[in-house]
Amino acid sequence: MSQMMQQKGTAWIGTSNIVVPGNKNTFPPAFQAKSRLHYYSSLFNSVEVNSTFYKTPLPSTTRKWADDVGENFSFTIKLSKAITHSKELEGDFGLLEPFMTAAAGLGEKKGSLLIQFPGKITLDYFDQVESILYEVEENDPDGAWRKAVEFRHDRWYTGETIELLNHFNATMVLQDIPKSSNMNAVETISRLKAGFVYLRFHGPNGDYRDSYTNLFLEEKAALIARWLAAGKDVFAYFNNTIGNAFDNARQLRTMVDGGPAENL
Q: pLDDT for 54-97, tens place per residue?
A: 999 999 999 999 999 999 999 999 999 999 999 999 989 999 99
pLDDT the model gives residue 7: 77
Mean pLDDT of 243-261: 91
Higher pLDDT pick, 198 / 2: 198
CA separation for the pair 182, 13 (Å, rounded):
19
CA-closest candidate to residue 249, choices 257, 191, 179:
257
Percent of the chain with pLDDT over 90: 94
Instruction: Please tell me whether the overall predicted TM-score, pTM, comes out greater than 0.75 for this model.
Output: yes
pLDDT digits (tens, 9 = 90+) for 198-234: 999 999 999 999 999 999 999 999 999 999 999 999 9
Q: How confident is the model at residue 6 (pLDDT cuts 50, 70, 90)?
A: confident
pLDDT the model gives residue 164: 99
pLDDT the model gives residue 2: 42
Average pLDDT over the chain reads 95
Question: Exposed, middle or buried by CB within 10 Å (0-12, 13-18, 19+), for 38?
Answer: middle
Mean pLDDT of 157-174: 98
Q: How confident is the model at residue 1 (pLDDT cuts 50, 70, 90)?
A: very low
Radius of gyration over every alpha carbon of the chain, rounded to an integer in angstroms: 18
pLDDT the model gives residue 3: 47
pLDDT the model gives residue 263: 45
261 pLDDT above the threshold of 70: no
Structural domains of the chain, ranges and CATH numbers in brackets? 11-256 (3.20.20.410)
pLDDT the model gives residue 260: 55
CA-closest candidate to residue 147, choices 134, 156, 159:
134
140 pLDDT above the threshold of 50: yes
